[in-house]
């Protein structure tokens, strides 16, 4: 039986699309039970185009109400694994203790955690950065590292060009990591 995953995404959805494509091609044997976004973003349309149930759960003024709404939405989809791909929200401790969650991050953790990893690497004068897939815990990008790929920082890189080159590796790494993790056993 295929493992069930739920995708969490906030933006254009290029990393989510890599997973969708891998499932549709047979490279990944799993079921995408649903995709949830905190923003009314292009990733929702990507999911709809592939007949993946999608849900927009906007963050309102009451963060605890959003935490509960997200928890219930994911719980209703009964995932074996939650895959955060460009989801720009810190998940509630209750959420990450209840669900197995992995995340992609555009840096070689523990270096450059947080929302501005690419900018931070450039500002620090780093010559190498990369991407990490890690287990999500109650901290900010502090969970156990599963896999990493290095990406050199080129002389002409700015935040946009570097981030695009990192995303290429992120898309490959998340698919490869899911192949290694699933079927999901006890972690």
Q: Are 175 and 22 in contact (CB under 8 A)?
A: yes
How many CB atoms within 10 Å of residue 28? 23
Q: Is 163 a catalytic residue?
A: no
The residue count of the chain comes to 187
Q: Are 109 and 86 in contact (CB under 8 A)?
A: no
Two tokens, residue 131: 């991407």
| Phi/psi-derived region of residue 125, left when phi > 0, alpha when psi is between -120 and 50, beta in every other case | left
DSSP string, 60-125: -S-HHHHHHHHHHHHHHH--SEEEESS--SPPPHHHHHHS-EEEEESS-TTSS-STTHHHHHHHTT
Catalytic-role residue among 50, 97, 98, 105: 105
* Active centre residues (catalytic): 105
């Amino acid at each position: 039986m295929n493992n069930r995953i739920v995708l969490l995404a906030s933006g254009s959805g290029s990393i989510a699309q890599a997973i969708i494509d891998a499932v549709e091609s047979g490279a990944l044997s799993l079921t995408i039970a649903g995709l949830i976004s905190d923003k009314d973003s292009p990733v929702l349309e990507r999911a709809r185009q592939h007949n993946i149930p999608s849900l927009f759960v906007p963050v309102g003024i009451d963060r605890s109400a959003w935490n509960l709404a997200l928890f219930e939405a994911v719980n209703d989809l009964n995932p074996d694994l939650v895959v955060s791909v460009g989801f720009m929200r810190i998940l509630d401790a209750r959420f990450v203790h209840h669900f197995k969650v992995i995340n992609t991050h555009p840096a070689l953790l523990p270096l450059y955690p947080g929302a501005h990893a690419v900018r931070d690497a450039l500002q620090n004068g780093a010559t190498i950065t990369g991407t990490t897939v890690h287990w999500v815990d109650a901290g900010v990008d502090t969970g156990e590292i599963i896999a990493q790929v290095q990406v050199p920082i080129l002389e002409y890189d700015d935040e946009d060009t570097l981030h695009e080159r990192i995303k290429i590796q992120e898309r490959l790494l998340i698919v490869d990591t899911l192949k290694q993790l699933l079927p999901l056993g006890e972690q």
